Structure 1
Amino acid sequence: MARKRYSDEDVLKLLREIELKLADGDDVRTACRSVGVSDATYYNWRRRFGGMGKSQLSELRGLEKENARLKKIVAELELDKLILKESEPPKAEGLTTSQLRQAVIHTRQKLATSERRTCQVIGLARSSMQYRAVQKIDDELRLAMIRLAKSFGRYGYRKVAELLRIEGWRVNHKKIERLWGEEGLQQPQRHKKKRRLYHEDSSIIRLRPTHSDHVWSVDFVHDKLSNGRSYKMLTVLDEYTRQALAVEVRTRMGSEDVLEVLYGLFLRHGKPEFVRRENGPEFASAATREWLEKVGVKPIRIYPGSPWENGYNERFNGTRRREVLNAEWFTTTKQAQVIINCWLKEYNHTRPHQALGMRPPVPETLIRNGP
């Protein structure tokens, strides 16, 4: 026969009945038998609920629930301490997902804890714990990536990824970055982004180009040949399209040489509305200013000692120095001009530009299909 279970309210009612019978003169055994319980059960009930009313019973229930909740919290905290101690170390800076996964497996084997609890304490998502990588053979992709890295030695993984997509590969830059690191190729250095410069009236210092042939920027770069002789390079850039219009290499170059280069570019590409220039004597001469005014081009002069105001051209010069000047050793200015012109064609027609959505300034398809 199944043992009958009494609720707390039923226990209080039976205790009152037994106490009334005891008050009438019955002994304990007789009073307990009359209500269908043993005298041992009566003593246990009286020790637990003796003298309680309904309100005291509700308070006792609340205390028991709170006590059970606190015990559970303490047990969980102790378990968390054991998990963190066993995992050694917990999630920290630089700890990979694979290392966290191994920590979860080791802790579960030692403590027999659940996967959910262990992942929560160590700091690993369960989706990452249960993820199983799909092995793919990327040998052909690796070979294509290495081939492009050798051909364009100064390109990073982002530009190589764009060139691979142009060739027909369906890959994103994150996969190329992973393969790039596995092959031991050089990773890019992270630079802190600089804030823009403003005047006191919150106006931007630099005039922003809005369309093609709106603002051209010109600048000089100095370098030396293998025999130690210095030479100069005049660079002209369309700030909107990022197209490098010309890089003129000469041993000496004055204001008349600058006007000669600009004259040829005006005939070939049309006149810009503005020309951004530095404060060198080649640009600040009266002959240069007067000639620009006659042809209807407005000059923009940067502040002395503020090369960042000519940022488009300065960036182009930095790229050219990394990819050409630091990689080549010229013996004559003619050799330098030929090699720089070859690189200039690659820069304008092939090299992906991040500011243009990884598109070159003048894609070759536009040139081939043009008039």
Structure 2
Amino acid sequence: MAMKRPKPEEIVVKLRQVEVLMGQGMPRIDAIRQISVTEQTYYRWKKKYGGMGTEQLKELKRLQKENKRLRRAVSDLTLDKLILSEAAPGKLLSPSRRRACIELVRGKMKVSERRVCRVLGQHRSTQRREPQGRADEELLVADMIELTRLYGRYGYRWIAALLRDSGWQVNDKRIERLLRREGLKVPMKQPKKGRLWLHDGSCVRLRPEYCNHVWSYDFVHHRTDDGRAFRTLNILDEHSRECLAIRVKRKLNANEVIDALTDLFILRGVPGYIRSENGREFIAQAVRDWIDAVGAKAAYIEPGSPRENGYCESFNGRMRDELLNGEICYSLREAQIIIESWRKHYTTIRPHSALGCRPPAPEAIVPMDQRPTMH
């Protein structure tokens, strides 16, 4: 039967016993035999506990215990730090994100659920509770995915507005949460534009006050699949944000500009101002004379300052982002049909933030399955 390992107090007592025996004249080896240990064990004990009294031994035990507690605390802090480093970057603001993060950490580090929940601030009952969606959520997600398939560059605000138009009672936050859950990317936000000022502090932007007050027009360049270039002349009502017309041709000159504006003037009347850049098609003498003759005024922007034509530049960016960058046109006729279909969608269906998430010129509400598909 194996003997029990002596406690430190017992070792100190035996060492003191050897010292007493040696003080009485007994040889060292005989005194060691009296305490029933080997000579190697004696010297090992003496190296560790030699000259130590009872009080010193108590202090040593206290320090060892404190050292063990500190090592455990450092180990716990190191483990907590590792758990936080394995967690998702940034704040975990929702229980669902914490739930997914905790499962990920446990799969990587093999730590207890209790420990990870404590570090990441998730109650264990919340972690174990299975989320229950609403009864109509499956149908809502199906309609939402269908809209994102049709209009891939729309963010959650536009998708929510389209869903409300089709009869759903939903808010923007719910659609944003469902889009994130389904892994659908939200388009990046555009940087804010500064106000336009002259050196003397006066504002130079002519702001539209009513429909037909200020129109703006500009060119957009693109190419068909065979590499041949074509241009689009975009005409916009700045107050209503309505795209009045898009003329698509291989070449557009001053006469084409006059022809497009003439058709719109007959249908909608003459606007107060027509804003444009300083391209040769816009500042041609024929265009200037014709605009003056019909009773409108030309508002040219400063050279090299396209931001002064912000409404039309914003429309051009939406057109390129939502349509041109995602379509391959094999002929000019195909480009004309696709662009005109998109213009009607932009005017009658697509929500606009400046109009309270309503389209510029909405038509009667059309069921979603009967709306035109963007190819």
Under TM normalisation by the shorter chain, which class is it? 0.5 to 0.7
Unaligned stretches of 5+ residues in structure 2: 1-73, 103-110, 366-375
Query: Structure 1 residues 151 and 92 mapped into 2: Cα distance closer, same or farther (>3 Å)?
Result: closer
Report matched runs for 1:355-370 at 5 Å.
Answer: 355-365=354-364
* Structure 1 residue aligned with 2:320: 321
**Structure 1 Cα separation of the partners of residues 214 and 122 of structure 2:** 51
Aligned partner of 2:165: which letter? I
For these two proteins, the number of residue pairs brought into alignment is 275
Aligned partner of 2:360: which letter? P
Q: Which has the higher contact order (CA 8 A, sep 6+)?
A: 2
Aligned partner of 1:96: which letter? L
Query: Structure 1 residues 242 and 191 mapped into 2: Cα distance closer, same or farther (>3 Å)?
Result: closer
SS at match of 1:196: coil
SS at match of 2:230: strand
Query: Structure 1 residues 329 and 100 mapped into 2: Cα distance closer, same or farther (>3 Å)?
Result: closer
Q: Is the 8 A contact 2:273 2:296 kept in 1?
A: yes
1:136 correspondence with 2:134 = yes
* Structure 2 residue aligned with 1:336: 335
**Structure 1 Cα separation of the partners of residues 160 and 312 of structure 2:** 25
TM-score by length of 1: 0.66
Query: Structure 1 residues 175 and 318 mapped into 2: Cα distance closer, same or farther (>3 Å)?
Result: same
Deviation at 1:173, TM superposition (A): 1.2
**Structure 1 Cα separation of the partners of residues 77 and 165 of structure 2:** 49
**Structure 1 Cα separation of the partners of residues 281 and 121 of structure 2:** 62
Deviation at 1:332, TM superposition (A): 2.2
1:349 correspondence with 2:348 = yes
**Structure 1 Cα separation of the partners of residues 324 and 132 of structure 2:** 44
Report matched runs for 1:77-156 at 5 Å.
Answer: 88=81, 94-97=90-93, 98=95, 135-137=133-135, 138-156=137-155
Report matched runs for 1:165-314 at 5 Å.
Answer: 165-314=164-313
SS at match of 1:249: strand
Query: Structure 1 residues 234 and 92 mapped into 2: Cα distance closer, same or farther (>3 Å)?
Result: closer
Deviation at 1:200, TM superposition (A): 2.2
Deviation at 1:100, TM superposition (A): 7.0
* Structure 1 residue aligned with 2:19: none
SS at match of 1:245: strand
Query: Structure 1 residues 326 and 194 mapped into 2: Cα distance closer, same or farther (>3 Å)?
Result: same
Deviation at 1:251, TM superposition (A): 1.3
Q: Deviations over 1:22-68 (max 9, x none)?
A: xxxxxxxxxxxxxxxxxxxxxxxxxxxxxxxxxxxxxxxxxxxxxxx
Q: Is the 8 A contact 2:278 2:301 kept in 1?
A: yes
Aligned partner of 1:250: which letter? K
Q: Is the 8 A contact 2:242 2:361 kept in 1?
A: yes
Deviation at 1:92, TM superposition (A): 10
Q: Is the 8 A contact 2:154 2:187 kept in 1?
A: no
SS at match of 2:203: coil
* Structure 2 residue aligned with 1:12: none
**Structure 1 Cα separation of the partners of residues 321 and 300 of structure 2:** 27
SS at match of 2:326: coil
Deviation at 1:217, TM superposition (A): 0.2
SS at match of 2:323: helix
Q: Is the 8 A contact 2:141 2:178 kept in 1?
A: yes
Query: Structure 1 residues 300 and 135 mapped into 2: Cα distance closer, same or farther (>3 Å)?
Result: same
**Structure 1 Cα separation of the partners of residues 78 and 180 of structure 2:** 33
**Structure 1 Cα separation of the partners of residues 88 and 180 of structure 2:** 22
Deviation at 1:203, TM superposition (A): 2.1
Aligned partner of 2:134: which letter? K
**Structure 2 Cα separation of the partners of residues 186 and 164 of structure 1:** 18
Query: Structure 1 residues 212 and 123 mapped into 2: Cα distance closer, same or farther (>3 Å)?
Result: farther
**Structure 1 Cα separation of the partners of residues 168 and 220 of structure 2:** 38
Q: Deviations over 1:179-230 (max 9, x none)?
A: 1122121222234323222112322221111100000001011111222111
Deviation at 1:254, TM superposition (A): 1.1
**Structure 1 Cα separation of the partners of residues 134 and 79 of structure 2:** 35
SS at match of 1:364: coil
Query: Structure 1 residues 140 and 339 mapped into 2: Cα distance closer, same or farther (>3 Å)?
Result: same
TM-score by length of 2: 0.65
Aligned partner of 1:95: which letter? K
**Structure 1 Cα separation of the partners of residues 228 and 134 of structure 2:** 54
Query: Structure 1 residues 162 and 84 mapped into 2: Cα distance closer, same or farther (>3 Å)?
Result: farther
Aligned partner of 2:364: which letter? T
**Structure 1 Cα separation of the partners of residues 155 and 98 of structure 2:** 30
**Structure 2 Cα separation of the partners of residues 311 and 239 of structure 1:** 9
**Structure 2 Cα separation of the partners of residues 182 and 123 of structure 1:** 21
Query: Structure 1 residues 225 and 293 mapped into 2: Cα distance closer, same or farther (>3 Å)?
Result: same
Range 153-162 or range 296-305, more displaced: 153-162
SS at match of 2:192: coil
**Structure 2 Cα separation of the partners of residues 172 and 93 of structure 1:** 28
Q: Is the 8 A contact 2:98 2:122 kept in 1?
A: no
SS at match of 1:283: coil
